[in-house]
Structure 1
Amino acid sequence: MELNELYGRLLLDTEVPADLKKELIKNSRPALIQHENYIECQRCLSKTLKNKARLPNGAYYCPKCILLGRVASNNKLYHLPEKNLFSSLECSPLVWQGKLSLFQQQCSDQLRKAVDRSGEYLMWAVTGAGKTEMLFPTLEKVLLQRKRVCLASPRVDVCNELYPRICTAFTAIDPVLLHGHSKKSYHYSQLTICTTHQLLRFLGAFDLLIIDEVDAFPFTNNEMLKQAARRALKPNGTLIFLTATPTQELLGKIERHQLAASYLPLRFHRHLLPVPQVWFCGRWQDKMYCQKLPVKLKSELNRWIDEGFPFLVFVSRLELLAPVLRVLEANLPAKAKGDSVFSADPKRINKVQEMRDHKLNYLVTTTILERGVTFPSLNVMVLGADEKTFSTTALVQIAGRAGRSQKRPNGDVIFVCTDQVKNVRKAVKQIRELNKKGKRLLNG
């Protein structure tokens, strides 16, 4: 480990080599603070009752951030203030040759101005609006200013998709990719791409922190991760939120004029969002368990295969993955290759990549792929869209997986239900309303 790998970082003594610990003893602090009835973790700032955090040897640990390595009362944390020791760039690091549309450019310009001041800013754009490309001019600006930047997301898949796109667009920068499944080692970089959990390892590091899919689990409603984001940012830094489906909290801040925002209700290719078809299919689960695929569903999936379009089939529960995959394998042509994927799947990253590489025609998935992944010319089917697992936001995001390609901007989206409940009605209504706003934008 080099000394600069501690700049802006907050690391356990178990993560720091012995020779550096000796040199940086003045830069250490207790990892846990003990109070009368509870302990307070200095990495994640969570408080836990002592009787729920006691180890067999009488010491205490923090159960809230255990996934990043155990923090115990005998540990210390090490930190060096961020110094922005980055070389001046002789020319622009942005080599992307694409061109933003008029509406994208307007949004991008607003974002570029937002980083001139500290505080928070929201970019609210529909799925497929091209948020990543709209970020490029802002990233170019702050990188030329030798500022340190982080792109964070609650989802590993989003980080894995962002990383190669950023590397291709900014060839003069060597970004670091951080998440629990990443095989890349940490290095001091002007540009970090990471999951929001990794922000727990930073302190006052970033001049600009961008959180993509800010409304996604596990960031949304997670005070620990929100505190981690605020702490990872420099006191005078800028925090930008990106989303297609803002939370009520964010909308409330906009209404109270506590949060500035830019808004784009139109996709990058200037086509409207695909409006879901709602199909009613009673007892579809019973038929699946009997290795039968309802005739209407079988006909549609076969059409997708004949037309050569990849597709995702969403299910509401883990236990449905295997039976749905089996019935698809039994009823669809042998040439159609499929698999299933879920959040804790050890082969999750590989399977998503196989889908991108056209080695798989379809994936049966949980809501883990509801956002942050892009497959060209995709179709989407949601089995049991009327179940509680699929919130209105989730259904809007899922529908947004389709129609993201310039070559095929109008993919098929099918919600299979036994009842048209509130979440389904609201999702379809929201998409229609977004399309009305998009039409008004197109018509000037």
Structure 2
Amino acid sequence: MKLSEYYGRRVLVDQPEWQSAKTPAPIEELPTMIQHGQNIRCLRCGQETPRRIAALPNGEFYCPRCINLGRVATLNKFYHVPEPNQFTIVQPVLTWTGQLSPLQAAASAEVDAGMKAHRHQLLWAVTGAGKTEMMFKGIAHALGRGERLAVASPRVDVCLELYPRLKAAFQNTSLVLLHGHQELPYRYAQLTVCTTHQLLRFYHAFDNLIIDEVDAFPFAANDALLFASQQAVKEAGGCLYLTATPGPALLRQVKRGKLAVSYLPLRYHGHLLPRIHLRLAPTWRRGVRRGRLPASLLSQLRRTLDAHYCFLLFVPHVADLAPVAAALKKELSQHPFVTVHAADPDRLAKVQGMRDGKYDFLVTTTILERGVTFPGIDVFVLGADDPVFSSSALVQIAGRAGRNIARPTGIVCFWIAGQCRRVRAAVRQVDFMNRKGQALKR
């Protein structure tokens, strides 16, 4: 293992390979766990476990919470080398040649200033606003200052989409991609793209950390990943949160003045978000069991198809896919479609088939709530009041419509069995951003 692989990380090894060499190195031995009353606290994930659950033989303990990253026990030590920022800066740092809209440029300048000051800040930008491109200026200036950066996301598919875009935008900078299915070994790089779980391996490594899709599972409401993000940043480092749907915890920090916020309420094409329309369907599930869909839903689907537009139809659960698909085959037999869900082995092929025009629509679960773009589609949700749909998920689902400049509007309609706080919150959030967007357009 190279010395550089210890920079800004907490490495679990019995003995550092290079420590036996005669060349001295600024190694630090860090504890892995501490006893806290009747609990054992893991210093990698920050979680506490009762002693009786964490017990090993001979009075030793381990952490079961983050064992998927390798067992942490009181038998071990972390080996750490403080981040030295040993990078060679090659100009130009930014090789992206695209142009930002005036609104994007204004938000980008705020992000850049926040990163320079190492502030903790939130970029609240609607879905389809071009958040990735708005990071480029701040990232470029930070890299030019010799800083070490990370762009993290809770979801592997977002990391896989971000990595080639960042690699193309910063061709002269060393980059590394880290996630749980990664086959390539770790290497030291100035810019790291990783899942938020991988942040558990770092310690005071990054001068600036960017967390994209901060509202997404599993980062949202996960204390271990929040702890990891705090530990991964240097003590005087900055953190930028990117989201279209900030959760209550972030909004409380904004309200208390602990988190600076920049808004971008318009998409790159300058249009407002499509409004969410609600339709009551109190007996929809009973009807589906009998092979029938709500008449208002079928009427809307036919209008969309007759206008030669495609659509996504979301349902709450995988178990809903088959009966809904059976009902659709009876009513819309001339239109090709498939169902798709997270465990579907053909998921990627089906999504690509939709992009290629092979299907007129997809029936899906929340797996397609974010990270996919189909031009000119409408979006419908059957059973939007089901507990599986959080308000942020509903906003993300609504954001699949209107992303293309050729059709920047689109129709978004939710069918609900009754009034629901999460659905109302999603409607309010879209309307809130549209009011801000309308004010900018005046």
TM-score calculated relative to the size of structure 2: 0.88
Q: Distance in 1 between matches of 2:401 and 2:28?
A: 50
Q: Distance in 2 between matches of 1:398 and 1:80?
A: 43
* Residues 47, 224 of structure 2: 8 Å contact kept: yes
Q: Which residue of 2 aligns with 1:164?
A: 164
Change (3 A) 1:104 1:403: same
Mark the runs of 5 or more structure 1 residues left unpaired by the alignment.
none
Question: How far 1:326 sits from its partner (Å)?
Answer: 4.8
Q: Which residue of 2 aligns with 1:142?
A: 142
SS class of match (2:424): helix
Q: Which residue of 1 aligns with 2:398?
A: 399
Q: Which residue of 2 aligns with 1:242?
A: 242
- Percentage of matched positions with identical amino acids: 49
Question: How far 1:398 sits from its partner (Å)?
Answer: 1.4
TM-score calculated relative to the size of structure 1: 0.88
Alignment of 1:22-421 (within 5 A): 22=20, 27-34=28-35, 37-55=38-56, 59-91=60-92, 93-301=93-301, 304=304, 309-328=309-328, 332-333=332-333, 336-342=336-342, 362-421=361-420
Q: Which residue of 2 aligns with 1:19?
A: 17
The residue identity in structure 2 corresponding to 1:440 is A
SS class of match (1:115): helix
Question: How far 1:11 sits from its partner (Å)?
Answer: 2.5
Deviates more, 1:357-366 or 1:417-426: 357-366
Deviates more, 1:346-355 or 1:364-373: 346-355
* Residues 13, 21 of structure 1: 8 Å contact kept: no
Question: How far 1:270 sits from its partner (Å)?
Answer: 0.4
Give the count of matched residue pairs.
439
Deviates more, 1:381-390 or 1:287-296: 287-296
Q: Distance in 1 between matches of 2:68 and 2:283?
A: 40
SS class of match (2:225): helix
* Residues 314, 381 of structure 2: 8 Å contact kept: yes
Q: Distance in 1 between matches of 2:116 and 2:189?
A: 22
* Residues 157, 373 of structure 1: 8 Å contact kept: no
Q: Distance in 1 between matches of 2:88 and 2:188?
A: 12
Deviates more, 1:345-354 or 1:393-402: 345-354
Change (3 A) 1:436 1:119: closer
Q: Distance in 2 between matches of 1:45 and 1:429?
A: 35
Question: How far 1:307 sits from its partner (Å)?
Answer: 5.6
- Post-superposition Cα deviations, 1:187-227, rounded to whole Å, max 9, x if no partner, equal 22211111211110111111110111222332222222112
Question: How far 1:29 sits from its partner (Å)?
Answer: 3.7
Change (3 A) 1:112 1:25: closer
- Post-superposition Cα deviations, 1:36-62, rounded to whole Å, max 9, x if no partner, equal 632221211221111122357875321
* Residues 338, 361 of structure 1: 8 Å contact kept: no
Confirm or deny that 1:5 pairs with 2:28.
Answer: no
- Post-superposition Cα deviations, 1:84-128, rounded to whole Å, max 9, x if no partner, equal 22212122x323232111111111111111122133111112222
Question: How far 1:182 sits from its partner (Å)?
Answer: 3.9
* Residues 325, 340 of structure 1: 8 Å contact kept: no
Change (3 A) 1:247 1:101: same
Question: How far 1:176 sits from its partner (Å)?
Answer: 1.9
The residue identity in structure 2 corresponding to 1:82 is E
Change (3 A) 1:207 1:366: same
Question: How far 1:392 sits from its partner (Å)?
Answer: 2.6
The residue identity in structure 2 corresponding to 1:288 is V
* Residues 155, 372 of structure 1: 8 Å contact kept: no
Q: Which residue of 2 aligns with 1:429?
A: 428
The residue identity in structure 2 corresponding to 1:250 is L
Question: How far 1:345 sits from its partner (Å)?
Answer: 5.7
* Residues 305, 336 of structure 1: 8 Å contact kept: no
Change (3 A) 1:336 1:384: same
* Residues 12, 31 of structure 1: 8 Å contact kept: no
- Post-superposition Cα deviations, 1:393-415, rounded to whole Å, max 9, x if no partner, equal 32222111211122221122120
SS class of match (2:147): coil
The residue identity in structure 1 corresponding to 2:432 is E
